[in-house]
Amino acid sequence: MQTANVNRLTPYLFLAPAAIVMGVALLYPVGYMIYASFLDWNPSQRIGEAEFVGLRNYTKLLTDEAFRESFFVTLKFASIVVSLEMLLGVGLALLLDRNIRGMSTLRTLFILPMMIAPIVVGLMWRYMYHPTVGIFNRTLKSWGFEPIPWLSDGSWAFASVIIADVWQWTPFIFILSLAALQSLPQSAMEAARIDGANGWQLIWFVKLPLMMPVLIVTLLLRLIDAFKVLEVILVMTNGGPGLSTEILSLRISRTASEFRELGEAAAMSNYLLILLMILTAAMFLYNKAMEARAARLRAAAEADL
């Protein structure tokens, strides 16, 4: 779009503020962090005074038991919560994709959990998991069962933080799947019904395949976010007991603030960033592939006419 009063500088003028802010407060810090990861640096020093140690932070981390543990905990946490949320969210969407009264109110109520501050979500669950005043153990007790050490036993604590995350984020998958379902072409569904497909066959052979592009992007978005989780776990268990719920973000912040090892925390951040970059690249490539496929289909359809 090139008209008389749009000169070549205009797009750059529109972009400049965003470029400056993101440059100063995102790109520069990320570059700074990469540099810092080669230093032996603590918070009381200026960065120029820190000693350059090359790859030592990186190699040290590879043999660091606690770091390996938290890397493993993060992977385990992300894969479990995302699988559970996908199953529950898509299942709910398939179940509730009907013409019912109050659907919009229902959707509003369902998105509440994801709008509430992670800090507050952590608080609510910590209260509910409380050994004596929490609702779970109170209920168990009133039914005559033994109380459960929700947050004070390693395996239970891991399960407990998973439950809290599933509570907060299943709605995300649910809303997106429901939107995908409701925008499916009715013609495909009717054709399948006329061919005699039953409910399950309709879901398995028509709905799910048609939803797949949205589901994959949803999965990747959620996976990227699951690797960033921090506050809910910080409030509920602060990584404990032991290292059972110490995810990478917590390990990074603890290495920086408690152990005062900024260089090591930076190297750790880089490992996390590489992981996230792979996921984002996967999403980007997938989108490109889908766009290309859509373009091909469009071209084929036009050729047919």
Residue among 134 and 206 whose Cβ is closer to other proteins: 134
Q: Report CA-CA distances (Å) from 234 to 122, 157, 161, 256, 278.
A: 8, 12, 10, 15, 26
Separation of CA 144 from chain center: 38
- Judged by beta carbon, residue 123 or residue 148, the one nearer other proteins is 123
Least gap, CB of 77 to other proteins (angstroms): 14
Q: Which is nearer to other proteins, 130 or 188 (CB)?
A: 130
Instruction: For residue 217, give the H/E element and its range.
Output: helix 208-226
Q: How far is the CB of 298 from other proteins (least distance, A)?
A: 17
SS3 (DSSP) at 113 = helix
Q: How far is CA 281 from CA 76, 176, 277, in A?
A: 21, 21, 6
* Distance of closest approach, residue 50 Cβ to other proteins, in angstroms: 10
Rounded Cα distance, 129 and 153, in Å:
12
Would you say 55 or 109 has its CB closer to other proteins?
Answer: 109
Least distance from other proteins to the Cβ atom of residue 131, Å: 11
DSSP annotation string for 227-275: TT--HHHHHHTTT-STTTT--HHHHHHHHHHTS--HHHHHHHHHHHHHH
Token digits of residue 99: 């013409």
CB closer to other proteins, 7 vs 198: 7
Smallest separation, CB 3 to other proteins (Å) = 5
**How far is CA 230 from each of CA 179, 181, 187, rounded to the nearest angstrom?**
28, 32, 44
Closest to other proteins by CB, 37 vs 303, is 37
Q: Are 147 and 137 in contact (CB under 8 A)?
A: yes
User: Toward other proteins, which CB reaches closer, 83 or 280?
Assistant: 280
Q: CB 160 → other proteins: shortest distance, Å?
A: 13
Taking the complex as a whole, the smallest distance from the CB of residue 14 to other proteins amounts, in Å, to: 4
Task: State which amino acid sits at residue 231.
Answer: E
269 neighbors 37 (Cβ within 8 angstroms): yes
CA-nearest of 210, 215, 225 to 280 is 225
